[in-house]
């Protein structure tokens, strides 16, 4: 049976996972009476909520006596570490592009990785059923993008497939809808070559890890050379050159949505999962027992952002979570680095504080959100960029920022971004909207989303991708209003909140438990203000008309985790528990804060 290994790459929300759904239905993967939810591959709870793919998945379908291994990849550049790894397992890629939006920043990011690896490409123009879309123009833009990324002659001579995953069809012409997805599957088999048989000693590079609570870690990768079977004795060549001997206890191939155990010998070109190995990591090579030869290790982009993780020591610690000690948090963070390649964790000089390095705020917030759902309580410091020293000078990460806004708001957005040391590179008008392209430091990006959405009345579409390191641009003034800080611990009273509404906007609802030093709102001025919201109204025997007016309180501002990470100041922590997100001052006592400020001045 012939094999095809393909990866599906695209910008966020261009329809990758929906297309895989349609292919699975096309090859009759499910019984007719079987209930199947949409977005089958987004199996993780967070992926379903956010509608994005975070972890790459492997599935396989059988069509016309050919086995097609499909790898679904994340579209967001914060999960670039995932994309780079899994492309090593594929011989070809399906580049999915939205017919209306055209190639987007992440399209460029994932396509660049595929072109560098020399993979063959089929372009799929998806969502041609959208009104006002222009699939022909989109195809030309994809060609220009590939040309600018130095694609080879063969890569530029690509096949184009048009269709709508939502409606479940793909064809050669977008004006002539077909019945189903067969045209796409035929194109995959006809256009991509099967993996060449590569006899010799075993070489299998571990591209991703699976985990089973019953049997431990499982290595997943493509056999580059030779063959492997259950019971084989193998050598594992690590990144640093160390060699461990191990035995293949169980071997699995991917069948449908799951894995199938096999006793047969599996030859080169197939993607397998190996169980029972010890001391291995992503990028290591499983090779011959007697003559171990390593493949070139997978290179992963460096982290660009760091954040302090510490134990929850607020007055409310331990009320919601199961895991609150530094040992439990440390074990969980180091366990995450085993399968999350772009993440790095370092101990600090304090036993209850850890520095965690990642690819961006989204990358780190997915880890934090996963931990809080597992029952962890943690506190987080303000995100900081990773600074490198190159030729004796400090360099900081720089990102390409793309903002799509209605024409009337473009001036305000340009003013906002340039005030944070951003450079305007390009302005493109498309219908009544404008695409603005900037180059901005990663520092300038932190906390930018909220002001941009405010000045554009929520009409901006923002995306960014890592560009490289450039010399330090100097200090950026982060204009954030001061904080309203709780004076005492207790329950907030509606009467007090109502009387203080002219002082700023509140983050808490009436009758919510708060503690001294918690940031409960944003002051209208630049300084911090300590307020007492647990003071009740003093009752007397006297009754006066009009003094018992109905209290009308503006709704509290509730942050999402990403918004809180962008909002938090240098002297503040975010307290994250399974049920609550609170912003607090690092020093809860007002006297300590004043003393510290004097000391700094």
pLDDT above 60 for 427? yes
What is the distance between the alpha carbons of residues 254 and 273, in angstroms, rounded to a whole number? 8
- The answer to whether residues 521 and 480 touch, using CB atoms and an 8 Å cutoff, is no
3-state secondary structure of 89: coil
Q: How many domains does the chain have?
A: 4
Could you tell me if residue 21 is inside a domain? Answer: yes
Domain boundary among 288, 323, 345: 288
pLDDT at 32: 45
In a domain, 238, yes or no: yes
Does 455 share its domain with 539?
no
Evaluate whether residue 295 is within a structural domain.
no
- Mean pLDDT (the chain) is 82
In 276-412, at which residue ranges do the beta strands (DSSP E only) sit?
285-288, 305-311, 344-347, 353-358, 378-380, 384-385, 388-390, 393-406
More confident residue, 301 or 527: 527
∠ CA 126-127-130, rounded to 5°: 155
**CA gap 361, 368 in Å, rounded:** 10
Ranges of H-type helices in 14-58: 16-26, 45-50
Read out DSSP for 389-412?
EETTEEEEEEEEEEEEEEGGGHHH
Q: Based on the fold, state whether residues 53 and 109 are members of the same structural domain.
A: yes
288 has a pLDDT exceeding 80: yes
User: Are residue 444 and residue 582 in the same domain, yes or no?
Assistant: no
Judge whether residue 33 has pLDDT over 50: no
* pLDDT at residue number 279: 79
159, part of any domain:
yes
| Cα distance between residue 577 and residue 549, in whole Å | 37
Report the alpha-carbon distance of residue 437 to residue 461 in Å, rounded: 12
Decide if pLDDT at 60 tops 60: yes
pLDDT at 185: 85
For residue 67, what is the domain's CATH number?
Answer: 3.40.50.300
229 shares its domain with 250:
yes
| C-alpha span between 101 and 104 (Å, rounded) | 7
**Residue pLDDT, tens place only, 447-491:** 788 788 888 888 888 877 777 888 888 887 766 788 999 999 999
Domain boundaries, position 415: 388-471
Work out the burial of residue 87: count CB atoms within 10 Å of its CB; fewer than 13 is exposed, 13-18 middle, 19 or more buried.
Answer: buried
Q: Give residue 523's Cα distance to chain centre.
A: 32
Whether 31 and 173 share a structural domain: yes
Same domain flag for 248 and 151: no
One domain, residues 134 and 274 = no
Beta carbons of 106 and 76 less than 8 angstroms apart: yes
Question: What CATH number did the domain enclosing 556 receive?
Answer: 2.40.50.250
* pLDDT value of residue 35: 46
Length of the chain: 601
Are residues 248 and 104 part of one domain? no
Instruction: Please check whether residue 332 lies inside any domain of the structure.
Output: no
Q: 341 in a domain, yes or no? A: no
Whether the CB-CB separation of 64 and 2 falls below 8 Å is answered with no
Specify if 547 maps to a domain. Answer: yes
State whether 225 and 118 are in the same domain: no
Distance CA 109, CA 115 (A): 10
Residue ending a domain, among 288, 307, 342, is 288
Phi, psi of 17 (to 5 degrees): -65, -35
Q: Quick one: 58 and 114 in the same domain?
A: yes
pLDDT at 520: 93
Structural domain contains residue 370: no
Question: Rounded to the nearest 5 degrees, what angle is found at the Cα of 464, between the Cα atoms of 85 and 57?
Answer: 30
Q: What percent of the chain has pLDDT over 70?
A: 89
pLDDT number for residue 76: 56
CATH assignment of the domain containing 442: 3.30.70.240
Measured at the alpha carbon of residue 561, what is the angle toward residues 318 and 339, in degrees to the nearest 5? 85
The whole-model pTM stands at 0.75
511: left (phi over 0), alpha (psi -120 to 50) or beta: left
Least-confidence region, from 4-13, 222-231, 258-267, 312-321 = 4-13
Of 239, 259, 288, the domain-final residue: 288
What is the token pair recorded at 463? 């995306």
State whether 51 and 116 are in the same domain.
yes
pLDDT at 38: 46
Mark whether 179 and 30 lie in a shared domain: yes
CA distances 493 to 76, 299, 489, 538, 545, Å, are 43, 55, 12, 12, 22
For residue 259, what is the domain's CATH number? 2.40.30.10
């Amino acid at each position: 049976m012939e094999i095809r290994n393909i990866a599906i790459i695209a910008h966020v929300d261009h329809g990758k996972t929906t297309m895989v759904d349609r292919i699975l239905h096309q090859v009759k993967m499910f019984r007719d009476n079987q209930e199947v939810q949409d977005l089958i591959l987004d199996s993780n709870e967070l992926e379903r909520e956010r509608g994005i793919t975070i972890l790459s998945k492997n599935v396989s379908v059988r069509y016309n006596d050919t086995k097609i291994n499909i790898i679904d990849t994340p579209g967001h550049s914060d999960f670039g570490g995932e994309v780079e790894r899994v492309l090593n397992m594929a011989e070809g890629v399906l580049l999915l592009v939205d017919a209306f939006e055209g190639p987007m920043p992440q399209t460029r990011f994932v396509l660049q990785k595929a072109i560098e690896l020399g993979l063959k490409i089929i372009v799929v123009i998806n969502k041609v059923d959208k009104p006002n879309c222009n699939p022909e123009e989109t195809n030309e833009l994809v060609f220009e993008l590939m040309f600018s990324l130095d694609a080879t002659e063969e890569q530029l001579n690509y096949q184009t497939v048009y269709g709508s995953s939502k409606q479940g069809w793909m064809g050669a012409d977008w004006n002539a809808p077909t019945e189903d997805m067969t045209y796409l599957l035929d194109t995959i088999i006809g256009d991509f070559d099967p993996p060449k048989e590569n006899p010799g000693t075993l070489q299998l590079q571990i591209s991703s890890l699976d985990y089973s609570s019953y049997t431990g870690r499982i290595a997943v990768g493509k056999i580059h050379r030779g063959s492997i079977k259950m019971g084989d004795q193998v050598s594992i060549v690590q990144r640093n050159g160390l060699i461990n001997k191990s035995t293949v206890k169980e071997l699995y191939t991917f069948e449908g949505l799951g894995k199938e155990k096999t006793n047969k010998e599996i030859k080169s070109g197939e993607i397998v999962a190996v169980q029972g190995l010890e001391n291995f990591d992503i990028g290591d090579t499983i090779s011959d027992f007697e003559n171990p030869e390593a493949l070139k290790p997978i290179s992963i982009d460096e982290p660009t952002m760091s954040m302090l993780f510490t134990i929850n020591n607020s007055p409310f610690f331990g009320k919601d979570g199961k895991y609150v000690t530094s040992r439990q948090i440390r074990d969980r963070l180091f366990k995450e680095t085993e399968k999350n390649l772009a993440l790095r964790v370092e101990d600090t000089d304090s036993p209850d504080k850890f520095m965690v390095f990642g690819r961006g705020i989204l990358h780190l917030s997915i880890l934090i959100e996963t931990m809080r759902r597992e029952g962890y309580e943690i506190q987080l410091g303000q995100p900081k960029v990773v600074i490198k020293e190159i030729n004796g000078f400090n360099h900081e990460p720089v990102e390409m920022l793309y903002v799509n806004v209605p024409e009337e708001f473009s001036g305000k957005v340009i003013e906002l971004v340039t005030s944070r040391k951003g450079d305007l590179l390009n302005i493109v008008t498309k219908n009544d909207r404008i695409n603005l392209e900037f180059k901005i430091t990663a520092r300038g990006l932190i906390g930018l989303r909220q002001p941009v959405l405010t000045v554009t009345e929520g009409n901006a579409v923002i995306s960014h991708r890592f560009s490289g390191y450039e010399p330090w641009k100097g200090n950026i003034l982060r204009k954030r209003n001061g904080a309203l800080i709780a004076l005492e611990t207790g329950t907030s009273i509606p009467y007090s909140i109502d009387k203080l509404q002219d002082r700023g906007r509140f983050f808490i609802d009436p009758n919510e438990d708060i503690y001294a030093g918690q940031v409960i709102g944003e002051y209208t001025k630049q300084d911090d203000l300590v307020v007492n919201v647990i003071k009740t109204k003093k009752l007397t025997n006297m009754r006066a008309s009009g003094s018992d007016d109905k209290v009308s309180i503006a709704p509290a501002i509730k942050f999402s985790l990403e918004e809180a990470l962008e909002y938090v100041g240098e002297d503040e922590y975010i307290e994250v528990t399974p049920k609550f997100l609170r912003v607090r001052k690092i020093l809860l006592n007002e006297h300590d804060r004043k003393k510290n400020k004097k000391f700094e001045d």
